Structure 1
């Protein structure tokens, strides 16, 4: 399935990568952080792992959290982010059935992805300097809630497409895509604001984030911490 890649494109635009710290060092730390994420996917995070996360510097804490959220957005980019691929104004019965079949993957992943986002958000609330960005964290939560409301609406529309309602469905999806793009852009801006307000080293954060995004091709699940 084709992807629109909205979140990652926005990330590249907003986060300009720098080179003050060696790439090898960032990759090494990212490997260690990735092991923590993989372990939490298999079983609840132990007290030791919680302590390890809480001991991380702010830039690495935020990179771990936001890489997980970004992977959630990327999964939706693959699944429904390009409505032009699914729905046309004029469709046959067979084409409508194919659109619904292509939707099955994101329908199955919908709840796990939302759970992953909630787990990442719970971890964000335990970051070293979270109290300095309390308002932005709340704003990010509201943004993500709105994002998921949009994705639910898009999934519902695609799942109910028929040759008779294809034109109307496409028009509705085009409108929802604008909101989808808006919330994706806003989430990246809020993430950057949180990095700034928590006093994290921005250049280091960007390198760790990029390394983690490269190290996490799948959909890692952070354990619930509440």
Structure 2
């Protein structure tokens, strides 16, 4: 399945999240496994590194790669709501949709925590005063993003053969908002990089390296 969310080059080119036509058969095979592998692992016992001592480009790369990982999990978990819910469904199909939703429901709390930890680090970045307005915009954007994901999860978890058509229509509308908030978050991140006068080339190298690490490898847990 083609990824529909925030990829390695996400802060370089704003991606159009147009995966409505994704191959849902492949998605069905990968869904739960991918979500579990991509989610953050528990805190490690490694000696923590002081975030404030890192170069500005590395600071932002760490923060934004973490947020992007969170979005990526949601992309795999509920980003294709048309896979979960169709206009007409049997009881068995509705039950399967709920079962396939279990992984993202299980990870939801941890994903919100990871996003909050990333934002807390953003407030510690060396040049954060230069991007105060943009940081507030990003905070509001991420809150709106999570509100939409909550609504999508709730709708899918309550789907039945009787309400399938209505649920699908509601999910179609929510997916538009989901996509909009994801794209806006990328633009705001780009703006923060510019406002903080970070070396863009160096930032992009750090970002790519972090996102190429195996899913689940801790980053925030190694910092304080």
Q: The TM-score by the shorter chain falls in which range?
A: 0.7 to 0.9
Partner of 1:131: 129
Partner of 1:182: 180
Partner of 1:205: 203
Given the alignment of the two structures, is residue 143 of structure 1 paired with residue 141 of structure 2, yes or no? yes
Unaligned runs of 5+ in 2: 16-39
8 Å CA contact retained: 1:68, 1:117: yes
Partner of 2:43: 41
8 Å CA contact retained: 2:14, 2:186: no
Partner of 1:24: none
Give the C-alpha shift of residue 39 in structure 1: 10
Give the C-alpha shift of residue 11 in structure 1: 1.2
Partner of 2:73: 75
- TM-score with structure 2 length normalisation? 0.82
Give the C-alpha shift of residue 5 in structure 1: 2.3
Give the C-alpha shift of residue 45 in structure 1: 7.3
- TM-score with structure 1 length normalisation? 0.81
Unaligned runs of 5+ in 1: 17-37
3-state secondary structure, aligned to 1:168: helix
For 1:15 and 1:187, locate their aligned partners in 2 and report how far apart those are by CA, in whole Å. 10
8 Å CA contact retained: 1:122, 1:224: no
Given the alignment of the two structures, is residue 54 of structure 1 paired with residue 52 of structure 2, yes or no? yes
**Do the aligned partners of residues 113 and 219 (structure 1) sit closer, same or farther apart at CA in structure 2, a change above 3 Å counting?**
farther
3-state secondary structure, aligned to 2:101: helix
Which 4+ residue blocks in structure 1 deviate beyond 3 angstroms? 43-46, 223-226
Number of residue pairs the alignment of both structures matches: 200
3-state secondary structure, aligned to 1:140: helix
Give the C-alpha shift of residue 7 in structure 1: 2.1
The answer to which structure has the higher helix fraction is 1
Give the C-alpha shift of residue 144 in structure 1: 0.2
Structure with the larger RCO, 1 or 2 (CA within 8 Å, 6+ apart): 1
